[in-house]
């Protein structure tokens, strides 16, 4: 490979690892949600929101 390329295998692996890391560590943005109803529910009562999420996971996994 030429030295000026951005497609080096190590760069691609590093980018993938950093991308996965950001998926699991960046906080969710409830100020600009895709599901407005779910975001409003989470902002209103966090405990009920998380319990509902846990119930959904148990039911459908």
- Look at residue 57 and tell me if it is in a domain: yes
Residue 43 makes CB contacts below 8 A (sequence gap 6+) with 30
Whole domain around residue 56: which residue ranges? 34-61
Question: Does residue 48 sit within a domain?
Answer: yes
CB neighbour list of residue 8: distance below 8 Å, 6 or more residues apart:
1
- The answer to whether position 53 is within a domain reads yes
Number of domains in the chain: 1
Residue 55 included in any domain: yes
Based on its alpha-carbon atoms, the radius of gyration of the chain, rounded to whole angstroms, reads: 19
Quote the pTM value: 0.44
Report the pLDDT value the prediction gives residue 19, as an integer from 0 to 100. Answer: 82
Instruction: Report if residue 3 sits inside a domain.
Output: no
In a domain, 40, yes or no: yes
5-59 residue pLDDT tens: 566 777 788 888 888 887 777 666 667 777 888 888 888 888 998 999 999 999 9
């Amino acid at each position: 490979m030429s030295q000026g390329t951005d497609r080096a295998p190590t760069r691609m692996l590093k980018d993938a690892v950093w991308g996965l890391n950001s998926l699991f560590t960046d906080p969710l943005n409830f100020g600009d949600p895709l599901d407005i109803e779910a975001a409003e529910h989470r902002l209103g009562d966090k405990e009920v929101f998380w319990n509902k999420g846990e119930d959904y996971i148990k039911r459908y996994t």
